[in-house]
Structure 1
Amino acid sequence: MNILILFSQPWKVGGAETHVQAFIQGVYGEHEVSLAVNTGSDPVRLQELGERFPRLTILTIQARGINIFRWAADIVKLAKLLKSQNIQIISAQQRTAGLWSWILRKLTGVPFVVTMHDSWHRAMGKRYYGALFDRMIVVSSSLAERLRSDFAIAPDKIVQIHNGIDFSQFIPLDQQQARLKLGLDLTCKLILHVSRLSSIKGAVALAILDSIPRLADYCQTAKLVIIGEGPLRAELEQRALAVNKKYDNIVEIKDFTTDIVCWYSAADLIIGEGRVAIEALACLKPVVAIRNSEFFFGAVTADNIHSAMAVNFDGRNLPVKPELLVREIAKGWQLTADCRAEILQAIQQQMSIPVMTAQYLQVFRKTLAPGGNSVKNESC
């Protein structure tokens, strides 16, 4: 199968990029893949992607920003690519990519499938998307519900596919050795939060900082490390500076790193959602699942892991309050080794790259089949 992945964001660091790279890894070799990304992408990360997948065709477009002439030129460029590469289907990652794919289908007849990674809270004209998008992939049941309620997408157009990770890359290391390598205190209770510091996800980091007084009272050796970059980074650093003056440098903020497995292994607990939660659980670490500053899922346990996977670790079980956040951290710290192993087994069965890839290809084949305009309302 010849596939174009249309990624209407700059290629940088984030869950959507990691999701797409995992899919490329899953199909590479057996299928021909091209990738179109938005201007403003990180050239180093694109170079690394090209080196890892030498047969991957990568091109840059401008899907964002008002530039009608550039839009028209790039639509023509993509239409030519569809023809020259004999592309059979477009995997549109996010809303803008879906709109471009709809135009390309009008011009070339090539069908498309749209993947929704977040809530599209800034989308205009929500009720029109049901007429434009014939088939949607979502990474959580909560996003599926949002498509049905806010975007009037028919249930038979929606399929849920979990994120997939490479479990061979996320294997726990010795905690003490990991801390020695990273220059960390060997005796502290280390909490790690990894996230893009955007207006929504960055607000989680600010909420975690608000819990520091209660956390410090509960555990005098607690330490928080936040790994992330984004528009809220400067505000977060200012808040952390004030917290550290009162609580003896309890917080550190660091840039994104390629050595994330070492950080997971060094931690006693990870706060995060989506792919971060999956990766941390694969490293046998406790996770408190949270995505926004209003509500959160809480500590992931063997009893609730299937519910956590269904919502991609982005639940609304609890309001975000310092006392509840610290309570869930304490609950996570109490998880037994057997419980962590049971959680690992559950995510290995449903959240691997081969499973995710097979489900994507199943949706693509149904889309390409004669009359393939809808799918059953179920997870693949």
Structure 2
Amino acid sequence: MNIGMFTDTYSPQISGVATSIMILEKELRKQGHNVYIFTTTDPNADRSSEEGRVFRLPSIPFVFFPERRIAVAGMNKFIRLVGELNLDVIHTHTEFSLGLLGKKIAKKYNIPSIHTYHTMYVDYLHYIANGKILTPSMVKKMTRSFCDSYDALIAPTQKVKHHLEDCGLNKLIYTIPTGVDIDAFEPVPNEKIVEIKLNLGIQPNEQVILSLGRIAYEKNINATIDAMPQVLKRLPNAKLVIVGDGPIRKELMQSVLDMGLEKQIIFTGAVNWNEIGSYYQLGDLFVSASTSETQGLTYFEAMASNRPVLAKQDESIEDILDDNQTAFLFENDQDLAERLCFILTHPDIAEKVSQNGRELVNALSAGQFGKNVANLYTEVGKSHVKNKKSMKMKSTLIRSKVASQVFSISSNTHVRKGRSSRRD
């Protein structure tokens, strides 16, 4: 198949969406498919390595999410290009510029179209005038309006599927979790971990609590930071390492300074994707207090790295993570410090949960993810052809019916005219 993916977010940008797309692209190529990426320009992109497979439109930072970009020109060029590539399916991954373009092109060339709904925007309203412009009901209407024209939708979790249904979308919605590239999280030499620790000012024997991902309000990283004073009372040699970047990193760093914990809470900033596996293994446990996840990729990556996961209970993980079995869960932020201390002081239990988590994540492999999506492409493609034939037949019947009506009207008119002339 010739597959076109349209996204505003792609490598070298670091996010769950970019990771999901790169994993899918890699697995589809392994299956022998041709995958073309249509995305925005990025000053850090390696254009020479992308030639022939990644096409970028001129773009600027998005006003509400400066670390994301939005296309501003070159739309017609892409429309002509797609016409030459003979795409079998269009798969969009954004509701903004490239998503709108993908929809337009799919309609123009009558190409089957699929959309993955990656982001629960109701969790992000605070970025837009502190939530004073858009309301949740408005977001639902916008979501329904954007998604309703697709042949099928992909939801990474049941939580997202339920949200789409709540928006009034009754079309085909497939729950397909993003797979994990397990090979990328194989154990690294202990010397490498010790080196990273020393570079961060951490002694080899000190325990590390790891937070990794986008540093933003909706990730609730401040809950983990607020728990650290209680943790340090019991475990004075514990460290919290926060890996990643985002709009509130400086704000959180200042908060840590105000608490006098800059030696115990360490911010690494953004880390190259090739190093992520090593940083996961830096931690004695992985923690997330977020309830805004649509994919839970960081949970699965930590589990693939054979690390125990502590996560806040949420619908996005309720069918996947079992408390004290495949992960550790907590309900309230006030319980976080106690749970962190329990895991760090019960290494045998933590190791057993880590092993169970690793076994679970094997079933969520990148290979299976690629197969699931490819099967959906095939299914939607067949359905699209049937609908196209049905519409063509319907159109033919309508034209035939109209023609017969015109003929009937014309005949009746002729008869009436004939009768009228006879009366004369």
| Shared fold per TM-score greater than 0.5 | yes
2:215/2:246 contact within 8 Å kept: yes
Query: For residues 1-380 of structure 1, what are the structure 2 equivalents within 5 Å?
Result: 1-9=1-9, 11=11, 12-28=13-29, 30-39=32-41, 41=42, 43-44=43-44, 46-47=45-46, 51=49, 56-62=53-59, 74-96=74-96, 97-121=98-122, 122=125, 123=139, 125-129=142-146, 131-149=148-166, 151-154=167-170, 156-173=171-188, 175=190, 177-183=192-198, 184-201=202-219, 204-243=220-259, 245=260, 247=261, 249-258=263-272, 259-272=275-288, 274-290=296-312, 305=326, 318-319=331-332, 321=333, 323-333=334-344, 334=346, 335-349=349-363, 351-371=364-384
Alpha-carbon offset, residue 177 of structure 1:
5.0
**Which residues of structure 2 form unaligned runs of 5+?**
64-69, 126-138, 388-424
TM-score (norm 2): 0.73
Alpha-carbon offset, residue 129 of structure 1:
3.8
Letter in 1 for 2:180: I
CA–CA separation in structure 1 for the residues paired with 2:78 and 2:189? 48
Instruction: Give the secondary structure class of the aligned counterpart of 1:252.
Output: strand
CA offset digits 1:6-59 (Å, max 9, x no partner): 0023651111111111111111251111111124x2x43x318x63x6652332
2:308/2:350 contact within 8 Å kept: no
Letter in 2 for 1:112: S
1:301/1:339 contact within 8 Å kept: no
CA–CA separation in structure 1 for the residues paired with 2:118 and 2:313? 13
CA–CA separation in structure 1 for the residues paired with 2:284 and 2:19? 24
CA–CA separation in structure 1 for the residues paired with 2:263 and 2:352? 34
2:8/2:94 contact within 8 Å kept: yes
Change (3 A) 1:222 1:17: same
2:59/2:72 contact within 8 Å kept: no
2:206/2:237 contact within 8 Å kept: yes
Mark the structure with the bigger radius of gyration.
2
**Which residues of structure 1 form unaligned runs of 5+?**
375-380
CA offset digits 1:186-232 (Å, max 9, x no partner): 1222101111123322xx22221111222222322211011111111
2:151/2:384 contact within 8 Å kept: no
CA–CA separation in structure 1 for the residues paired with 2:281 and 2:62? 41
1:223/1:250 contact within 8 Å kept: yes
2:4/2:36 contact within 8 Å kept: yes
CA–CA separation in structure 2 for the residues paired with 1:65 and 1:189? 39
Change (3 A) 1:58 1:130: closer
Change (3 A) 1:291 1:233: farther
CA offset digits 1:85-122 (Å, max 9, x no partner): 11111110122244332222222212211111120225
Q: Which moved more, 1:204-213 or 1:57-66?
A: 57-66
2:60/2:72 contact within 8 Å kept: no
1:8/1:64 contact within 8 Å kept: no
2:231/2:337 contact within 8 Å kept: yes
Instruction: Give the secondary structure class of the aligned counterpart of 2:74.
Output: helix
CA–CA separation in structure 1 for the residues paired with 2:6 and 2:192? 41
Change (3 A) 1:181 1:199: closer
1:286/1:300 contact within 8 Å kept: no
Alpha-carbon offset, residue 60 of structure 1:
2.3
Q: Compare relative contact order (CA 8 Å, sep 6+) and give the higher one, 1 or 2.
A: 1
Change (3 A) 1:37 1:291: farther
Alpha-carbon offset, residue 130 of structure 1:
5.1
Change (3 A) 1:81 1:263: same
Instruction: Give the secondary structure class of the aligned counterpart of 1:58.
Output: strand
2:308/2:351 contact within 8 Å kept: no
CA–CA separation in structure 2 for the residues paired with 1:17 and 1:253? 22
Alpha-carbon offset, residue 356 of structure 1:
0.4
Change (3 A) 1:327 1:296: farther
Letter in 1 for 2:161: A
CA–CA separation in structure 1 for the residues paired with 2:205 and 2:40? 44
Alpha-carbon offset, residue 342 of structure 1:
2.1
Change (3 A) 1:65 1:329: closer
CA–CA separation in structure 2 for the residues paired with 1:176 and 1:10? 32
Instruction: Give the secondary structure class of the aligned counterpart of 1:187.
Output: coil
Change (3 A) 1:207 1:368: same
Change (3 A) 1:214 1:235: same
Instruction: Give the secondary structure class of the aligned counterpart of 1:369.
Output: helix
Show the counterpart of 2:420: none
Q: Which structure shows the bigger proportion of residues in helix conformation?
A: 2
CA offset digits 1:125-169 (Å, max 9, x no partner): 3442453333111111111111111x2111x51111111122112
CA–CA separation in structure 2 for the residues paired with 1:140 and 1:296? 8
